[in-house]
Structure 1
Amino acid sequence: MGITTWLEQYGYGLIFMALFLEMLALPLPGEMMMSYTGLFVYEGKLNLVLSMISASAGVTAGVTLSYWIGYKLGQPFLRKYGHRVHLGEEQLARMNVWFEKYGDKLLFFAYFIPGVRHITGYFCGATRMPFRKYAIYAYSGAIFWVCLFISLGRVLGPKWEIYHQSVNRYMIIFAIASALLTVMIYVLKKYRQRMLAGSIVLLTKGIHHFHSLGKVRFLVLSAFAALVLFVSLMLGLIQDFLAHEFNQFDEVATYIVRSLFGPDWHNLMNHLTQLGSIYLYGPLIAAAAVWIVVGASDKLLELSFLFWVVIGGEWLDDGLRLLFHRPGPVAAGFQLFNTFPSEETLTSITVCGFSAFLILRHYKNGLVRVLVVAAIIFICLLIGVSRIYLQVQFPSDVVAGYVFGGVWISLNVLLLEILRMLPANKRFAA
């Protein structure tokens, strides 16, 4: 009897039980169950809200039970047999301390990695992570995981069986990248001073006289880490471009965007394209320039970088598109050429991002900073989604624009902060 037959007969009860048992480390295909559930929702055989509630209840019940099993039985078992796998009392104590401090951050992403999600509950219980902390991250991650896969199954509909392997792979890559980013943030926080000293010496080539605040030093290190991350992504994109490996990603991403936003969104998407134009960039650049003139101490330096990032970003974009020379998709008999990377997303991330950085660097209100950053990210995403929806650019073009723009903006933030630390007489020496 196949999974679809079982799902037709037992419905929500099967969803609950399958995910409950999978969280106890039984070898059950959780993503497949949720994706078929989404397919049944698409076909009208199941209710979306009830399906998500059943799946969320099953997975949270499973991770709760696995935690308490690990809590009650895990440490005695490890004390008795752990030395055989190099997990003696001393190693277990160190692991408890580390996992209690930092392991909770990884729980949210663990559900996307097969094999890892099955043991996190037992491990968190065995390491005596406080249940309240465990529940916050484990429950939110589990509910997000099930809702995402059910929604994907509903969006993909009858094409789910064609795309599900690609979607699963991208979800695993996303989870691993998120976990690595979490580890990177932890390393930055713990070894910040040591890494700052080394990176500053390396980047300034042994300059002996620099003056900076702790905030500036942290900005230098953060910009350097962002530059390394974006350069790594850029090299991977170039490699995939040269190997012609974007076809499946473009097909899946375009289908998902077109399915999420139906024909009724067409007029709005046409209007959203105006966000990637001078109508947005002009006032934003002007506002950043006025803010620098009014409130910045290094007016000449910041104004120079503002206009250099804008103008240089345009030159970079033109050069890259001529270099890669990739024709865009054909939509309604119309085709753009040289669309890799996307001009709109590269310009949006550089102009909006750098202008916001210059404005917020001197602004003290933390809530306003968070809201502005969220708004910039949202606007840049809307610009990219509109290009994909209107099928004037491939999703890989859009992603490449974000990545190449991230390289450009992080490089210039890094250079700006390094120059800001130099004594003024050396910076502007004739």
Structure 2
Amino acid sequence: MGNLTSWLEHYGYGLIFLSLFLEMLALPLPGEMMMSYTGLFVFEGKLSWLLSMVSAAGGVIGGVSLSYWIGYRLGQPFVAKYGHRVHLGEAQLARLTKWFEKYGEKLLFIAYFIPGVRHVTGYFCGATRMPFRRYALYAYPGAIFWVGLFITLGKVLGAKWEEYHTTVNHYMIMFGVASGLLAVVIYLYKKYKGLVQAALMDLLSRGGSHFHSLGKVKFLLLGAFVLLAGFVSLMLGMIQDFLGHEFSQFDEVASYIVLAGFGSEWHDQMQLFEKLGTFAFYGPLIVVTAIWILFRGHNRALELIFLIWVVLGGEVLNEGLRMIFHRAGPTGVGIPFLYTFPSKETLTSLVVCGFSAFLLLRHYRNHAAHLVVPAVVILLCLMIGISRIYFGMQYPSDVAAGYVFGGVWVCLNVILLEVLRKLQNQNAR
């Protein structure tokens, strides 16, 4: 690595551009390591963050564009015959063909996070005559996101980069895999939407004869089922990691990133977000939601009962979970009853804000609101959790567990509410 840092110090942006350009042509060069060291140099003031981003993104975009046109001009037979020289042999070509048939061009965006795939997708897409505009639509934003993420992480980690880079790369690969799975789910839903809906309706119909005509609600239920499955999977994984005492490295790296990314100048804002994680904020929000239900709700009594049930049940769930897992937080050392797994604040914020947003939007047809409100809820809940880490009140794993357990509780109750609502409407006819 001494040669790499020496070359980077001497040749700077030109080396960044050239190395990533050549890597995208399938040369065996360490792209993530180059970008992470670039971030480290940005941290040390030796390079400009903006110019580093432009150089890295330009190199990747140039490389994937050239590889596309090479594949396009030479054609699939040539690539199949000589592609092994750039790690694109017949086996890789068949595998990529199968992946693109299943997952579509969205694979281009996440392919940068999958070792061995990002180097050959340009050749493959050109050889298979994918329209260049469609190729660029996914490949270029993916390139910018990939280089931006690694350079920024290198900048944030700073002097701790060499200590943490292996762990960060591990989580980046996990992120790529998770993104790929999400893309698969979305693709399969779009392609087999009719079959999935029919299967869901058949499953629901076994519970009662009234579910055969759910109408538009079936889309809401399907989305809630997908989210519930994802949260349950994460929940089981977190419980397994908790029992195996495997959170220490994650907590150390995540805490360092939060503290490095949000310096002392964020102190006042973090105090505000910390207060938003208390009943002083949730109380008025619950009242506003209840008033909204009274004026706009279609099943007022049912929705009010569920609002109370979800909020109080979430509190009981949180207290029970923290007593079961029995882990003292960073400020709870020596204090026997201060347990922080899962985080009460993140679980409650997701439960109250998430379910309230669902009830508020359930009878409001403004499309902009349906995009803005969920984004605000996600950002608010995220910053509430970051504030707990920022002030050393909870571990990052506590915060993440709060989101996951809260997500399970919200999705479960959304499904139950919609099913009961439909039953109530059917019985009223």
Regarding TM over 0.5, the answer is yes
Specify the code of the residue in structure 2 equivalent to 1:341. Answer: P
Cα drift, residue 69 of structure 1:
1.2
Cα distance between partner residues in 1 of 2:329 and 2:239: 17
Helix, strand or coil at the partner of 2:232: helix
Structure 2 partner of 1:416? 417
**Secondary structure class of the residue paired with 1:422:** helix
User: Structure 1 213/107 Cα, relative in aligned 2: closer, same or farther at 3 Å?
Assistant: same
Cα distance in 1 for partners of 2:287, 2:15 equals: 58
Q: Note if contact 1:71-1:126 (Cα within 8 Å) is conserved in structure 2.
A: yes
Q: Quote the Cα distance in structure 2 between the aligned partners of 1:286 and 1:113.
A: 47
Partner SS for 1:111: helix
Write the distance in 1 (CA, Å) between the matches of 2:24 and 2:291: 55
The corresponding residue for 1:365 is 366
For structure 2, list consecutive stretches of 5 or more residues without a partner in the other structure. Answer: 84-88
1:160 is matched with: 161
Quote the residue 1:28 is aligned against. 29
**What is the deviation of 1:423?**
4.7
Question: Could you tell which deviates more after superposition, 396-405 or 298-307?
Answer: 298-307
Mark the runs of 5 or more structure 1 residues left unpaired by the alignment.
Answer: none
Q: How many correspondences in the alignment?
A: 423
Question: What is the match of residue 352 of structure 1?
Answer: 353
State the alpha-carbon separation in 1 of the partners of residues 92 and 156 from structure 2. 45
Contact residue 107 and residue 120 of structure 1 kept, 8 A: yes
Aligned equivalent of 1:37: 38
Distance 2:12 2:82 in 1: 42
- For 2:350 and 2:422, the matched residues in 1 are separated by 25
Aligned partner of 1:306 in structure 2 is 307
Give the SS at the match of 2:383.
helix
Partner of 1:141: 142
Contact 1:335 1:392 (8 Å CA) reproduced: no
The residue identity in structure 2 corresponding to 1:51 is: S
Q: What is the 5 A alignment of 1:19-418?
A: 19-77=20-78, 99=100, 103-203=104-204, 205-210=206-211, 212-330=213-331, 337-418=338-419
The 8 Å contact of residues 210 and 426 in structure 2, kept in 1 or not, is answered as no
- Give, in whole Å, the separation in 1 of the partners of 2:28 and 2:69: 20
For the residues of structure 1 that align with 2:417 and 2:405, how far apart are their CA atoms? 18
- The verdict on how the C-alpha distance between 1:87 and 1:336 changes in structure 2, with shifts beyond 3 A counting, is closer
CA distance in 1, matches of 2:400, 2:104: 30
| Identical aligned residues as a percent | 63
The answer to which of 30-39 and 129-138 deviates more is: 129-138
The answer to whether the 8 A contact 1:346-1:404 is kept is: yes
Q: Could you tell me how far 1:359 is from its partner in structure 2?
A: 1.0
Q: Residue type of the partner of 2:239?
A: I
- Measure the CA separation in 1 of the matches of 2:80 and 2:172: 36
- Superposed CA deviations along residues 310-341 of structure 1, whole A, max 9, x for unmatched, are 01000100000000010111499999821000
- TM-fit CA distance, 1:204: 5.1
CA deviation vs aligned residue, 1:203-224 (integer Å, no higher than 9, x gap): 4534122364532001111111
- Scaled by the length of structure 1, the TM-score of the pair is 0.92
Q: Which residue identity does 1:364 align to in structure 2?
A: R
Tell me by how many angstroms 1:294 deviates: 1.2
2:86 maps to none
How far is the alpha carbon of 1:80 from its aligned partner? Answer: 7.4
Q: Which moved more, 1:243-252 or 1:1-10?
A: 1-10
Change (3 A) 1:159 1:427: farther
TM-score w.r.t. the length of structure 2 is 0.92
Deviations 1:101-127 (A, max 9, x none): 952222221111111111111122122
**Paired amino acid for 1:16:** F
Distance across 1 between alignment mates of 2:92 and 2:22: 27
